[in-house]
Amino acid sequence: MAVLIASDLQKDINGNPLWEGLSFKLERRDRMTLSGRNGAGKTTLLRILAGQANKDGGELSFEKNARVILHDQRPPRERDMTLREYVVSGRQDLVDLELRLRDYEQRMADGDLDVFDAYSRATTELESKGGYRWRDEAADIVRGLGFSDEDLDRQLETFSGGQLTRASLARALSAKPDLLLLDEPTNHLDLESLEWLEKTLVSFDSAIVLVAHDRWFLEAVGTSVLEIEAGRGRFFNGSWHNWRKEQAAREMALGKAIAKQEAEIARMEDFVRRFSAKATKARQAQSRVKALDKIERITRDPRDTRTMGFQFKKPERSGKIIFELDHGRIEVPPPVATTDPNSGATEYHSVPDARVLLADAELWLERGEHVCLVGPNGVGKTTLIETLAGRRPLAAGRIRTGHNVQVGYLSQHGDELEFPGARTVIEACIKATGLKPNEARSLLGKFLFSGSDAEKELAGLSGGEHKRLGLAVLVASGANVLILDEPTNHLDIESREALEDALKDYPGTMIMISHDRALLEVVGTRTVAVEDGELHSYLGGWQEYVEVREERIAAERAAKAAGNAADREAAAGNGGGKRPAAGKATGSGGSGSGGGKKQGGGSAPAKPAATAVADLQPISKNKRREIEKAEARIEQAETDLAKLEAELAAPDAWATPEATERNSKRHEDAKAQVQALYERLEQLTG
């Protein structure tokens, strides 16, 4: 039997239909995604299915005793319990069952054997629902969503808003209902947790209805789509990607039908104009007039045709180097500034017990690069870009900003957007950009603030509207360096795709944090990952980064397994003596102990000793600093090359033609980088 059958559902707002004619059927392991623009009524439908809102027409039929759980964007109301207690409360039936079993056990221990049958039935019921492992499974879900074991016994009131939203999702997943309703479940998840969630949902036995704006997530999880368009519902049985293709085909057919009808109407109207005054053609002209009156015009619903459409204008040219972060130490809370009363100099001092996010970070950003910054939540991504944007100080180290760098910054929550004295969208735009009123209206129209929408009061803007206003101001700024923190948050899919197109063609430099993998893949030319408190650089977008990461993990596992086998063999051969230390990998492309198959051969030049360089000629303090920096870069590049060659020693690195081609290129690029750095050092010391 189906978990849910919906027939001809209707919902009205102020007496007018929000949507009508929604029909679908869901069985176990069906995962239906809801598609529609912001305001189409997707969240309203979820709340109706959860029994939290009323429908105004149609029928809903649920499986008998079906358990329904809704996770939405509202944080949990309960705050006076631990995370563990809150999550397991989603299975109150099992909590109550365990309490009954404890009661029966106590009564039997006291000699009351009449409860034995009840105890046996309760034990069988618990085992049928997962047994005593259900609490461990709930804890596994909590960990999969990015919480630590220490978080399990923290009070909810100590968590941030984003963490509370993840706690709500953990509770919904742990409940394992018959019907699981998810509204934006990917919010506040890092990329690792996002991938975990995809695999978890696909394995669930529940029927699932979900709303999300992450296109890769929708494709990975969905088995069907309910499209809410122009207040009507259309069900599509298939993946999200196939639905998009079908939708595009429908849109193309509609466009052709409109063009054909318009051409026919124009032909008939032309006939009427030319012949209505001629006696011989008057009757035919009048017939055309009547036919025109009867034509039912084919149109697009205006609610479904509005989308953002904009481009970044070509900015002024900056210097080649945008940012250089040398030995950067980043802490939270940030260092406190003190001013010397005599010299007026400002110094920064670390706050006691400050948490170190990055201890010795190195980052170079050059003109024209589109860099995507990735890593788990809490590792310092936002703090790093705030530091680059000059919004917080380093605890140690130095940031060098290049020539003519003009930064445009857009934070995750838009806190940097200040419009003193402005009350409406148009007033805010004029104040922030300096544009004339007609120019500001033209700009805002590209961001869906047309007509009266430009007069909306700032205090009443939704998250999506606030984000679009921030993007409009950013575009008008003419910045040649964009620093973006989750720029797609609160945007619908059509707006995300418009932003993606604009960023892809942006001729300036960009560094961006995003959990939208489709955006990362299309826009990124380099990926910088925060891994184990360090910054690691990878060429290409998200998919190439994932492939390289998985290959590295597989190589590390293989190396560990080989090391364990060698340890056992050595222990068996010499009575448990220690295994000799492996030789250090070199940049020679083939030598060194434990070396495997390498591509490209050749060797990097030896690193010259600093003393030898110093003996050539007197060197200024600034030049000495540049030489030391070049040597540090060479050392890092050679270390990266050695790590790469150790990784490529695994047979899996060359298992397929695609892997061979990709890894050969990675090896050649790494060697070329070392060579280029040596050439730079020679220029400095020559």
pLDDT digits (tens, 9 = 90+) for 252-292: 888 899 899 899 999 988 888 888 777 777 888 888 888 88
The pLDDT of residue 620: 57
Percent of the chain predicted with pLDDT > 70: 89
What letter does residue 327 receive in the DSSP assignment?
E
Tell me which of 461 and 611 has the higher pLDDT.
461
88 class by beta-carbon count within 10 Å (0-12 exposed, 13-18 middle, 19+ buried): buried
For residue 193 the two structure tokens come to 């947790």
Q: Do 4-244 and 321-336+353-406+478-546 come out as alike in CATH topology?
A: yes
**Residue written as tokens 């448990």?**
576
Q: Does the pLDDT at position 610 exceed 50?
A: no
Tell me which of 637 and 453 has the higher pLDDT.
453
pLDDT tens profile 177-206: 999 999 999 988 999 999 999 999 999 999
Q: Does the pLDDT at position 591 exceed 50?
A: no
pLDDT tens profile 295-311: 988 887 665 556 788 89
**Residue written as tokens 């909306």?**
456
Q: Among residues 233, 235, 234, 198, which one has the least CA distance to residue 214?
A: 198
Three-state secondary structure call for residue 156: helix
The pLDDT of residue 302: 62
* Residue type (1 letter), 342: N
Q: Does the pLDDT at position 374 exceed 80?
A: yes
DSSP string, 199-253: HHHHH--SEEEEE---HHHHHHH-SEEEEEETTEEEEEES-HHHHHHHHHHHHHH
Cα-Cα-Cα-Cα torsion 27, 28, 31, 34, nearest 10 degrees, comes to 40
What letter does residue 416 receive in the DSSP assignment?
T
Q: Among residues 365, 342, 338, which one has the least CA distance to residue 350?
A: 338
Q: What is the mean pLDDT of residues 384-399?
A: 93
Tell me which of 281 and 370 has the higher pLDDT.
370
Contact 577, 570 (CB under 8 A): yes
pLDDT tens profile 488-505: 988 889 899 999 999 999
Q: Does the pLDDT at position 592 exceed 60?
A: no
**Fold annotation for 321-336+353-406+478-546:** Rossmann fold (3.40.50)
pLDDT tens profile 111-160: 888 888 888 888 888 887 777 788 889 999 999 999 999 999 999 999 88
Q: What is the mean pLDDT of residues 388-399?
A: 93
Counting every residue written for the chain, the total comes to 686
614: confidence class by pLDDT, cuts 50, 70, 90? very low
Q: Are strands 407-410 and 481-485 parallel, antiparallel or unpaired?
A: parallel
The model's pTM: 0.73
Percent of the chain predicted with pLDDT > 90: 47
Number of H helices and E strands in the chain, helices first, is 20, 20
Q: Rounded CA gap, 685 and 484, in Å?
A: 38
* Residue type (1 letter), 247: Q
Please state which of the ranges 17-31, 324-338, 659-673 shows the lowest mean pLDDT.
659-673
H or E element that contains 332: strand 321-332
Biggest CA pair distance of the chain = 118
Exposure on the CB side of residue 328, measured as CA atoms within 13 A: 28
The pLDDT of residue 550: 83
648: confidence class by pLDDT, cuts 50, 70, 90? confident
Q: Rounded CA gap, 12 and 164, in Å?
A: 32
H or E element that contains 536: strand 534-539
Q: Are strands 526-531 and 534-539 parallel, antiparallel or unpaired?
A: antiparallel
Phi, psi of 403 (to 5 degrees): -70, 135
Q: What is the mean pLDDT of residues 561-568?
A: 71
* Residue type (1 letter), 667: H
575: confidence class by pLDDT, cuts 50, 70, 90? very low
For residue 7 the two structure tokens come to 């027939």
pLDDT tens profile 67-117: 999 998 777 887 889 999 999 988 888 888 888 888 888 888 888 888 888
Q: Rounded CA gap, 56 and 535, in Å?
A: 54
Contact 10, 17 (CB under 8 A): yes
H or E element that contains 15: none
For residue 48 the two structure tokens come to 């109706």
Q: Rounded CA gap, 411 and 41, in Å?
A: 28
58: confidence class by pLDDT, cuts 50, 70, 90? very high
Q: Among residues 175, 235, 182, 185, which one has the least CA distance to residue 205?
A: 175
624: confidence class by pLDDT, cuts 50, 70, 90? low
Q: Are strands 224-229 and 31-35 parallel, antiparallel or unpaired?
A: parallel
Average pLDDT value over all residues in the chain: 84
Residue 461, number of CB atoms within 10 A of its CB:
18
User: How is the chain split into domains, by residue range?
Assistant: 4-244, 245-304, 321-336+353-406+478-546, 598-686
Q: Rounded CA gap, 59 and 273, in Å?
A: 52
Q: Measured between alpha carbons, how far is residue 189 from residues 39, 217, 375, 485 in Å?
A: 24, 12, 11, 14
Q: Rounded CA gap, 11 and 228, in Å?
A: 12
Q: Rounded CA gap, 495 and 493, in Å?
A: 5
Q: Measured between alpha carbons, how far is residue 184 from residues 13, 73, 137, 217, 305 in Å?
A: 23, 7, 23, 11, 23
Q: Are strands 346-349 and 336-339 parallel, antiparallel or unpaired?
A: antiparallel
Contact 627, 617 (CB under 8 A): no
pLDDT tens profile 204-225: 999 999 999 999 999 999 999 9
Q: Are strands 321-332 and 355-366 parallel, antiparallel or unpaired?
A: antiparallel
Residue range 4-244 in CATH 3.40.50.300: yes
The pLDDT of residue 92: 84
Q: Are strands 396-401 and 321-332 parallel, antiparallel or unpaired?
A: antiparallel
Tell me which of 508 and 104 has the higher pLDDT.
508
Q: Rounded CA gap, 153 and 544, in Å?
A: 38
* Residue type (1 letter), 675: Q
Q: Rounded CA gap, 623 and 384, in Å?
A: 28
Residue 92, number of CB atoms within 10 A of its CB:
10
Q: Does the pLDDT at position 342 exceed 50?
A: yes
**Residue written as tokens 């679908």?**
24
Tell me which of 289 and 27 has the higher pLDDT.
27
Q: What share of the chain is helix, strand, coil (3-state, %, to 5)?
A: 50, 20, 35
